Amino acid sequence: MPYPLQGYQYRSTPSIGIAPFTGTESTTVSELLKQADLAMYQAKAAGRNTLRFFDPQMQAVVTARAALETDLRAALAQDEFFLHFQPQLRQSGAIAGVEALLRWKHTQRGMVPPSDFIALAEETGLIVPLGRWVLHHACKLLASWQNDPLRRDLTMAVNVSSSQFRSPSFVDDVARVLAITGAPSGQLKLELTESVLVEDMESTIATMEALRAYGVGFSLDDFGTGYSSLSYLKRMPLDQLKIDQSFVRDVLSDPNDAAIVHTIIGLSRSLGLDVIAEGVETEEQRISLGEAGCDLYQGYLFSKPLPVADLEAFLTQALKG
């Protein structure tokens, strides 16, 4: 029931966690309370004002997460991260640049894909030092290309997650990395996702403008899967839309995906933005995208993401032709 407090009507809702105790298992009181607490946080996560029963699966998830977090913290210190680079090509087949993709080689777990640790890195705040590490190494490579006439015009795309972009030090971090590495800022392209745009538009625009003043460009990754409205797009200082690979995958078989691809390309034209398709795996997809007016391509058809030595070999081969 609502209740009055100093003239205001208050309404409290409970989130309830329940740990069943049958009296047969050898559970201690403090374990039971811990289980009930875990279940309560599940109830909160489910939107509050509800209840959840503890089940051992919850415990397993929390334990695995805690272990991953510990490992993630150690990984930065122990240099277990490295970058792969995937080429981006023009309609003509010429190489326009690369995208840096983070890899984690764990001593016991082996290769851990970004989908398994980026979200956790965001939640724990580790994404800020990790993102700085990525920027630094990507910019070092970009800078190293400046003395090579064949490589000096290539662009470097770097993924930036939402909480990294929001961190108060982000603009300074980028500026410092550019200064230290000597990378040409005009060839650095930060890939943002739509979640960044919709969260707090005014501060997003301010951060983007501050970076743009250094010459840094922006691409909108996974475009079409988020919630950005056309009025956001119009106001953002973007350079490129990146068509999400889910639309590219079925562009030949699903008329809806084909229609979406055409719409995104038309939209980018109207807004004066470049457009790149990601996840291009077949020649048929490339042709269909080309007919729709796509400028740039990235995907297994051209190359998988490569370790730096393989990338250099790929570039040498492709650029001399």
- 101 contacts which partner out of ligand C2E, Mg ion, none, CB within 5 to 8 A by kind? ligand C2E
CA distances, 12 to each of 5, 9, 46, 61 (Å):
12, 10, 17, 29
Both tokens of residue 16?
A: 């309830």
- 114 contacts which partner out of ligand C2E, Mg ion, none, CB within 5 to 8 A by kind? ligand C2E
Least Å distance, CB 117 to ligand C2E, is: 9
Pick the closer one to Mg ion by CB: 54 or 223.
223
Least Å distance, CB 83 to Mg ion, is: 13
Least Å distance, CB 50 to ligand C2E, is: 32
Pick the closer one to ligand C2E by CB: 114 or 293.
114
Residue-wise burial string across 145-178, b where 16 or more C-beta atoms lie within 10 A, e elsewhere? beeeeebeebbbbbbbbbbbbebeebbebbbebb
> Which residues are CB-contacts of 290 (< 8 A; sequence separation ≥ 6)?
91
Under a CB-based contact definition with an 8 Å cutoff, are residues 243 and 275 in contact?
Answer: yes
Question: What is the binding site for ligand C2E (CB under 6 A)?
Answer: 86, 101-102, 113-115, 118, 131, 134, 159-161, 191, 221-222, 245, 278-281, 299-300, 305
Under a CB-based contact definition with an 8 Å cutoff, are residues 122 and 115 in contact?
Answer: no
Pick the closer one to Mg ion by CB: 72 or 192.
192
Cα angle 204-209-214, degrees, rounded to a multiple of 5: 130
Q: Which of 151, 182, 93 is nearest to 311 (CA)?
A: 151
Both tokens of residue 89?
A: 């090509």
Least Å distance, CB 193 to Mg ion, is: 8
Pick the closer one to ligand C2E by CB: 40 or 194.
194
Pick the closer one to ligand C2E by CB: 39 or 101.
101
Pick the closer one to ligand C2E by CB: 153 or 281.
281
- 305 contacts which partner out of Mg ion, ligand C2E, none, CB within 5 to 8 A by kind? ligand C2E
Question: What is the binding site for Mg ion (CB under 5 A)?
Answer: 159, 191, 221-222, 278
Least Å distance, CB 134 to ligand C2E, is: 4
- 118 contacts which partner out of ligand C2E, Mg ion, none, CB within 5 to 8 A by kind? ligand C2E
Least Å distance, CB 80 to ligand C2E, is: 14
Pick the closer one to Mg ion by CB: 54 or 104.
104
**DSSP-derived secondary structure for 163-221:** HHHHSTTHHHHHHHHHHHHT--GGGEEEEE-HHHHHH-HHHHHHHHHHHHTTT-EEEEE
- 300 contacts which partner out of ligand C2E, Mg ion, none, CB within 5 to 8 A by kind? ligand C2E
